C-alpha cells in the first residue's frame, strides 16, 4: 500500500493516484461528467431462522458481539459520528478488536474527532491499518505526516453513502451507537440521556453492512419509537453504561460569533440573499452551525420577518436558531441532517415538522435526485478559496489535513452557493491564487462573501443582474485578494510537502478531485 502511486492529472488540473489502498480509481472528469455503472451493493440474504424469535438480540458485551460477527484481520469496521467529540463507542470497538488480537482493520467512520486520538496508538500497533473518513484534528495531522499505513480517503456525507451503496466500500461490521434502542435493535438518536438527534449517518451502514451491532446505554421496551434505524438490519444489541459524554455530544447552546468582522460577513450574506431576490415566499436555505452561519440565520430571520416572507424548508445542522424559525412560522419544516444543540434535540424528538434526514435523501449523488439541489441557497465555509472560486475545506495553507468534508461538497448543488469567509485568518489570506487542496470546483461556487466585500462568480451574470443598483459591496475577487495581500504582507507561503500522497479527496460521484501530500518535516 505504501508504494508510490502512479499519478494522473484530472479535469481540474490536480494530480491524483490511479490506485488507492489497492483499489483502482477514476480521476475527476468535471461536474456531472461521470456516469455510474453497475448495480448497488447487495448484502447477503439472511433468514429469521438464525435470529431469536423473541426478538431479543442482546449479547453480554461488545467483545462477544464482535466475536459472533466473526471479526477477523483486515475487516472494515464502521461508526457514525453523531456523538461527535463525546463518542465513547467507536474507540471502544477498535480497542476491543485490538485486545482480541485482530490486525489491519480499515476504520470507516462517517467522521472522527479529537476524542478518538488514541486510534493513533492502534495504528502504530497495527490494529488499524488506515482510516477512510473525515479526520478532524489529530488523526488528520497524523495522516498528513505520512505515518498511516494506507491512504486516507475523504468523502462527503453524500459520497460516503454513494461509496457504501455502490459497493466501493464493503462494511464488514457496523457498530452503531444508539441513544435509545430496544432489544431487537430498533433505535433512534432523538431520545434518551445521551440523545444526539438524528442517526442519519449510520443508516447506510445499517442497510449495507454484513453485520450490524447496536450499542446503547438506554435500552427501552419494544418497540423503540421512532426507529431511525431498523432492528430488521441489526444482528446484535449490546448494553453499556455510557455511549458518550452528553456535554460533548450536543452543545448546551450553540454560540453566534461575537467578532465584528464575522458579524459583518453574516449580515452581508443575509442582505445578499434578500437583495438578489432569493429570499422570497417558499424559498429554502441551508446553513451550518458555525459562528458566521448562525449569525447569518439570525440576520436573515429578521429580514424575513420584516418582509413577511416564509421559507418552505430549511436544511442542515439544526440549532436553536432554526428551531425558533420553525416555531415562529418562518419555515414550514426543518430537514435535519445533524442535530447540534439541546433545543434542536428537543425539537426533533417532539415536533413532526422537524424531520430527520439521511445522506440518502439529502446528498447521495447516485440516487434518483436528492434534496441538496432543491435548496435555493447554501451558506458554507472554507479554509481557502482561489481566484477561480475553487475552494478548500480540508487542508490548511501549510498542507496539513485537519478537517473533513461533511456535507460541503453536496451542498454545492444548491441554486446559489455562498462561501462566507473572513478574508484572512491569523494574518494568512484566505483568498489565494491556487488553493492547497481542491475540495470543490469553482464552477459550483457562486459567491464569496468576506468582511471586505462580496465577490460574485462571473459565471453568475444572473446574480449580478439581479443586484444592479444594490448598495452591497460587490467587488471582483482579484481586488479583494490584492487588498488582503497588502494587509497581510503578501501571499501565503506555499505548503511544503513531499511527493508522497497520504490522502485523497473524493468528489460526490466517487472520482478523485485532489490529493493530499505528506507534509515535509
Comparing CA positions, the residue from 311, 352, 321, 357 lying closest to residue 337 is 357
- Count CB atoms within 10 A of the CB of residue 101: 10
The minimum distance between CB 436 and its own copies, in angstroms, equals 28
**177: β partners:** 215
Q: How far is the CB of 351 from its own copies (least distance, A)?
A: 11
User: What sign has the CA pseudo-torsion 291, 255, 363, 153?
Assistant: positive
Q: Helix or strand or coil: residue 502?
A: strand
Stretch (H or E) spanning 420? strand 416-420
Select 79 or 361, whichever has its Cβ closest to its own copies: 361
C-beta separation of 8 from 15 below 8 A: yes
Closest CA to 312 of 320, 304, 381, 157: 304
Helix (H) or strand (E) holding 503: strand 497-506
Instruction: Report which DSSP code applies to 228.
Output: S
How many whole angstroms separate alpha carbon 269 and alpha carbon 299?
A: 9
Nearest Cα neighbor of 88 from 157, 148, 175, 153 is 175
Q: Least Å distance between CB 339 and its own copies?
A: 17
Nearest CA among 507, 508, 503, 520 for reference residue 17: 503
The answer to whether 406 and 156 are in contact (CB under 8 A) is: yes
Distance (Å, whole) CA 173 – CA 73: 12
DSSP code string of 174-203: EEEEESEE-TTS-EEBSSSTT--B--GGGH
Residue whose C-alpha cell is 469567509: 421
Question: Phi and psi for 119 in degrees, rounded to 5?
Answer: -60, -25
Residue placing its CB nearer to its own copies in the complex, 108 or 184: 184
Question: Would you say 217 and 192 are in contact if contact means Cβ atoms under 8 Å apart?
Answer: yes
Task: Reduce the DSSP state of residue 286 to 3 states and report it.
Answer: strand
Complex with its own copies: residue 227 or 299, whichever CB lies closer: 227
Q: Are strands 331-339 and 311-318 parallel, antiparallel or unpaired?
A: parallel
Any idea what the Cα angle at residue 472 is, between residues 469 and 473, rounded to 5°?
115
Residues present in the chain in total: 521
- C-beta of residue 213 within 8 angstroms of C-beta of residue 176: yes
Least distance from C-beta 325 to its own copies, angstroms? 16
Q: In whole angstroms, give the CA distance from residue 294 to residue 277.
A: 21
Interface residue list for its own copies (CB under 8 A): 32, 35-49, 51-55, 57, 165-166, 184-185, 212, 221-223, 225-227, 230-235, 282, 312-313, 332-333, 335, 352-353, 355, 360-361, 364-371, 373-374, 413, 509
Amino acid at each position: 500500500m505504501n508504494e508510490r502511486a502512479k499519478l494522473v492529472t484530472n479535469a481540474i488540473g490536480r494530480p491524483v493516484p490511479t490506485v488507492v489502498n489497492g483499489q483502482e480509481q477514476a480521476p475527476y472528469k468535471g461536474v456531472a461528467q461521470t456516469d455510474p455503472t453497475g448495480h448497488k451493493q447487495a448484502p447477503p440474504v439472511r433468514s429469521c431462522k438464525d435470529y431469536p424469535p423473541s426478538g431479543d438480540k442482546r449479547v453480554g458485551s461488545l467483545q462477544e458481539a464482535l466475536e459472533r460477527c466473526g471479526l477477523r484481520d483486515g475487516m472494515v469496521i464502521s461508526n457514525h459520528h453523531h456523538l461527535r467529540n463525546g463518542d465513547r463507542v467507536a474507540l471502544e470497538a477498535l480497542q476491543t478488536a485490538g485486545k482480541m488480537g485482530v490486525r489491519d482493520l480499515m476504520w470507516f467512520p462517517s467522521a472522527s474527532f479529537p476524542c478518538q486520538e488514541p486510534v493513533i496508538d492502534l495504528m502504530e500497533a497495527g490494529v488499524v491499518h488506515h482510516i477512510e473518513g473525515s479526520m478532524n484534528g489529530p488523526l488528520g495531522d497524523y495522516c498528513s505526516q505520512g505515518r498511516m499505513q494506507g491512504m486516507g480517503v475523504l468523502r462527503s456525507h453524500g459520497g460516503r453513502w454513494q461509496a457504501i451503496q455502490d459497493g466501493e466500500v464493503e462494511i464488514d461490521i457496523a457498530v452503531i451507537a444508539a441513544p435509545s434502542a430496544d432489544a431487537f435493535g430498533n433505535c433512534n438518536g432523538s431520545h434518551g440521556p445521551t440523545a444526539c438527534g438524528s442517526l442519519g449517518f449510520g443508516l447506510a451502514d445499517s442497510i449495507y453492512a454484513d453485520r450490524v451491532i447496536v450499542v446503547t446505554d438506554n435500552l427501552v421496551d419494544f418497540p423503540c419509537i421512532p426507529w431511525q434505524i431498523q432492528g430488521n438490519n441489526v444482528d446484535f444489541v449490546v448494553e453499556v453504561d455510557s455511549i458518550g459524554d452528553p456535554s460533548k455530544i450536543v452543545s448546551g447552546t450553540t454560540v453566534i460569533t461575537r467578532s465584528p468582522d464575522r458579524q459583518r460577513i453574516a449580515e452581508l450574506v443575509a442582505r445578499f440573499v434578500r437583495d438578489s431576490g432569493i429570499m422570497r415566499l417558499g424559498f429554502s436555505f441551508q446553513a451550518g452551525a458555525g459562528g458566521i452561519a448562525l449569525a447569518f440565520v439570525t440576520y436573515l430571520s429578521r429580514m424575513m420577518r420584516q418582509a413577511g416572507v416564509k421559507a418552505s424548508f430549511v436544511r442542515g445542522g439544526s440549532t436553536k436558531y432554526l428551531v425558533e424559525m420553525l416555531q415562529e412560522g418562518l419555515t414550514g419544516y426543518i430537514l435535519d441532517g445533524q442535530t447540534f444543540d439541546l433545543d434542536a434535540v428537543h425539537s426533533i424528538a417532539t415536533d413532526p415538522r422537524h424531520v430527520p434526514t439521511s445522506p440518502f435523501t439529502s446528498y447521495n449523488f447516485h440516487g434518483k435526485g436528492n434534496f441538496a439541489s432543491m435548496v435555493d441557497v447554501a451558506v458554507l465555509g472554507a479554509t481557502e478559496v482561489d481566484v477561480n472560486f475553487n475552494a478548500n475545506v480540508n487542508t490548511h495553507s501549510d498542507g496539513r489535513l485537519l478537517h473533513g468534508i461533511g456535507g460541503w461538497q453536496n451542498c454545492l448543488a444548491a441554486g446559489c452557493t455562498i462561501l462566507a469567509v473572513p478574508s484572512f485568518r491569523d494574518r494568512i489570506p484566505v483568498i489565494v491564487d491556487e488553493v492547497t487542496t481542491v475540495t470543490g470546483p469553482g464552477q459550483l461556487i457562486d459567491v464569496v462573501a468576506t468582511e471586505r466585500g462580496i465577490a460574485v462568480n462571473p459565471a453568475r451574470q444572473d446574480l449580478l443582474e439581479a443586484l444592479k443598483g444594490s448598495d452591497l459591496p460587490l467587488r471582483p475577487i482579484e481586488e479583494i485578494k490584492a487588498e488582503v495581500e497588502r494587509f497581510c504582507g503578501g501571499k501565503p507561503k506555499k505548503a511544503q510537502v513531499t511527493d508522497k500522497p497520504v490522502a485523497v479527496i473524493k468528489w460526490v460521484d466517487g472520482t478523485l478531485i485532489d490529493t493530499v501530500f505528506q507534509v515535509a518535516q
